[in-house]
Amino acid sequence: MSTDKPHNTNKGLHINIQPLRTKSAIETAKFFLSRNRHADRDLLLFLFGINTGLRASDIVIRKVGEFRHTKKPYIIEQKTGKQRRLNLTNLSDMIDQYIFGKNDDDWLFPSQKPGYHLTVNGVYRIMDKLGQEMDRDDLGTHTLRKTFGYHYYRKTHDIATLMAIFNHSSQEITKRYIGITEDEIDNSLNDFSIGI
């Protein structure tokens, strides 16, 4: 019996979700996101995620009023219950333009369904579609957070602060999470050979 639904070839497989490691990959992602039906929302969601390092579950529940007249709002992280101050200085113009004309109690990232916010699953679908457009099968909701962490570490080399931002229990967990450990292993093996 045949169905019209596409077959998910990744179902049941563990996919190692990766950050976008290069500026070129980030620009490519921005290009594809700016061409879709919800370009304004999806592009801001992407930039918001890679510039804050928040989990998708903390991004989708934001309200417009949290970002009006402030570049450094406080939020409570759902998973940890901890308060965190965001620094949105570099995104403030884009956010201001995006929220212009919206009510303070509107969802920052609304769903297609009126009155509802985008879900984490909705973010996954956006990232999955982006992965298809970029010919990658390693993008997901954690790509946003991992991209923030990867570039923060590459710029500052401050793994202790990044560990605190992510609320991880060890620096090694943070390095593994953002893909630095994998990069270090790959780099160490580039010039390594035996008997060749």
Beta bridge partners of 76: 83
| Catalytic choice (7, 79, 155, 157) | 79
Q: What is the mean pLDDT of residues 138-156?
A: 98
For 7-48, the pLDDT digits (tens) are 344 455 567 999 999 999 999 999 999 999 999 999 999 999
Q: What is the DSSP string of 104-120?
A: TTSBSSB-SSTT-BPPH
| Catalytic choice (62, 142, 146, 175) | 142
- 41 tagged catalytic: no
Quote the CA–CA distance of 145 and 54 in Å, as a whole number: 6
Q: What is the structure's pLDDT at 14?
A: 61
Mean of all residue pLDDT scores within the chain: 92
pTM here is 0.88
Dihedral sign computed on CA atoms, order 75, 165, 80, 174: positive
| pLDDT reading at 65 higher than 90 | yes
Pick the CATH number of 23-187 from 3.30.360.10, 3.40.1280.10, 3.40.190.10, 1.10.443.10: 1.10.443.10
pLDDT band of 175, cuts 50, 70, 90: very high
| Catalytic choice (145, 146, 151, 175) | 145
Q: What is the structure's pLDDT at 185?
A: 83
